[in-house]
């Protein structure tokens, strides 16, 4: 018989409520009391790493819209920077001038192994890796 209780709580004390959905990030089932976000096809539990991922994704989508607007005008993706962009971020696909992009060894998962691969990465995407590394 499958576990029909909420996945929130610790090892010795689980929430006894009936789950209403499964978290899109951790896969745990959660009840209404442990719902952080529920809408459309998205379901996120109240665990801190899952909340961070959901919030980061909202910020990232807004960031990509701003970068896209600047790039369509022929400008670097960073506010108040005027040089024409010549380089593309390997992650967000935004275009930046040489000053606002770096060649880095970016950790990439290949099955169960993490491999550092060279990538052109903007500062925004470089900071985001800590949220998604788990």
Over residues 32-80, the pLDDT tens digits come to 999 999 998 999 999 999 999 999 999 999 999 999 999 999 999 999 9
| 94-120 average pLDDT score | 92
Q: Where are the domains of the chain?
A: 1-46, 48-132
d(CA 63, CA 109) in angstroms, rounded, equals 24
pLDDT of residue 50: 96
pLDDT tens, residue by residue, 78-92? 999 988 899 999 999
pLDDT of residue 1: 38
Say how many residues make up the chain.
134
């Amino acid at each position: 018989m499958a576990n029909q209780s909420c996945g929130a709580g610790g090892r010795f004390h689980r929430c006894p409520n009936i789950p209403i959905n499964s978290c899109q990030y951790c896969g745990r089932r959660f009840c209404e009391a442990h719902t952080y976000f529920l809408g459309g096809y998205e379901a996120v539990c109240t665990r801190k790493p899952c909340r961070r991922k959901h919030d980061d994704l909202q910020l990232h989508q807004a960031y990509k819209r701003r970068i896209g607007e600047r790039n369509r005008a022929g400008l670097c993706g960073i506010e108040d920077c005027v040089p024409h962009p010549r380089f593309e971020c390997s992650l967000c696909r935004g275009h930046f001038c040489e000053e606002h992009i770096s060649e880095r060894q970016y950790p990439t998962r290949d099955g169960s192994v993490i491999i550092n691969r060279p990538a052109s990465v903007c500062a925004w995407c470089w900071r985001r890796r800590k949220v998604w590394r788990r």
